[in-house]
Amino acid sequence: MKKILIAAAVVVIGVIIYAFTGNKEDKTERKDAPAKELVMQMTKDLYQKEIADLNNTKEFKYKGKKPAIIDFYADWCGPCRQVAPLLKDLAKEYQDKIIVYRVNVDNERELATTLGIQSLPTIVFIPMKGDPQAIVGSAGKDTFKKAIEEVLLGKPAK
């Protein structure tokens, strides 16, 4: 009986330790990351300030100084969790050329609804001129790189 109680206590302690230390990648900053966040969390107010006027439904007019990507995601979404590290890598690779934002649709429901986001993940590519384009669902790094090069940076298709 004593051995069972000790084993149960070890399991409980292990679960508690894991709960407080598990998945450190999301909770701690990488040592090689610059002081500025590579992927910025987007809110409705930030969208209004940096991207476009939500009240102007007739014409999209981008306010940003660099092309942008907006990743609409949810923490519970498996494909969203697969896309997140790819976008973080691309944000680092293209950090002087583009800006990458993330919108947690559970926290920013009004913004997601106003923009018509219905499936997750939805990744929106916003060029300096022209209309935004989106990829709905998970995609590979090569697909995202091609969209960045062609849609955001205006390089011809290969």
**pTM as predicted:** 0.76
pLDDT at 34: 42
pLDDT at 32: 45
pLDDT at 72: 98
77 is catalytic: yes
pLDDT at 78: 95
Please give the average pLDDT of every successive group of 10 residues along the chain, which has 158 residues: 57 56 45 64 96 87 96 96 96 96 96 94 96 94 95 86
pLDDT at 143: 95
Q: Is 23 left (phi over 0), alpha (psi -120 to 50) or beta?
A: left
- Report the CATH fold assignment for 30-152: Glutaredoxin (3.40.30)
* 39-41 sheet: strands from edge to edge: 39-41, 99-104, 68-73, 122-126, 133-136
Q: Which residue has the tokens 């001129």?
A: 129
Q: Annotated catalytic residue: which of 70, 77, 147, 152?
A: 77
Q: Annotated catalytic residue: which of 52, 80, 86, 148?
A: 80
pLDDT at 118: 95
